[in-house]
Amino acid sequence: MKLSVGCTLGYQIATPTAAFTFNVLANTDAQQRLLAEEIRCTPEVATEIIETAKGVRVLRCEAPAGLFEFRYAATVEVARPPLPAAIKADNPGRLPLSILTYTLPSRYCESDRFGPIAWELFGKTEDRGEQVRAISRWVGEKIAYAPGATDSRTSAWDVWLSRQGVCRDCTHLAIAFCRALSIPARYVGGYAAGLEPMDFHACFEAYLGGEWRLFDPTDEIPPEKIAVISRGRDAASAALTTIFGRITAVPLKVSCEVVAE
């Protein structure tokens, strides 16, 4: 499936300069191919694109005081394989250390608090794929969409208690459930076609049967309609923008549509 994605980010810079790290570029990997891309900064500044070990592409730049605008547009081809009919549990002792870290608690995903809860809710089957599907269904049904009810300090445990939040909060809760079941899981930021209201979208990947597989924690957006742009243990290590300097943000614009063949 081909997706047309883009965003416009604007800032009023109050310091002499401000340094930006933009984590909004479409990723390139075995399941996601970049067909076209356009990047525009106003005023025009020097930019540098760095690819991380996770395959994430990050753009860095520095802008002078005044109004600064960053525009991004790309066409991405997404081809994600379907889940196998049944997936057995991986032996944690055999997992690579780079994968094993995603079974541990993190700042926003206190998986050590969810052990008995996760096994009671989702441990009735040994099929790991079905466990993660069940987690996504439960989060989509039980967590009410409530913009403004949570903030940057809200953790998975807070969401469990309040039963409300946005996609970021749903993702942290789903990751915490997975890790409590010894399923490696990591945070993913992306563009999502069909999202209402349109914005950047948080989802997650679970390591199943030797591969990372993408899931939407609200159980609404199919994986093939999501273009990945960032990855991390949770939102703290997968920020879409990192800014050094005093700025005032202008309302952002995000777009993602399926391209007709």
The Cα 165–Cα 186 span in angstroms is: 19
How many whole angstroms separate alpha carbon 169 and alpha carbon 202?
9
User: What is the model's pLDDT at position 243?
Assistant: 96
Q: What is the pLDDT of residue 19?
A: 97
CB of 228 closer than 8 Å to CB of 27 = yes
For residue 54, the model assigns a pLDDT of 67
- Which segments of the chain have a pLDDT < 50? none
Strands (E), 79-134: none
Domains of the chain, CATH where assigned = 2-78+240-258 (2.60.40.2250), 92-231 (3.10.620.30)
Please state whether the predicted TM-score (pTM) of the whole model is above 0.85: yes
pLDDT at res. 48: 96
| pLDDT, tens digit (0-9, with 9 covering 90-100), for 227-247 | 999 999 999 999 999 999 999
- Residue ranges with strand state E in the chain: 2-22, 32-42, 47-51, 57-78, 144-145, 164-165, 185-192, 201-208, 211-215, 226-232, 241-244, 247-258
| Residue 138 confidence (pLDDT) | 97
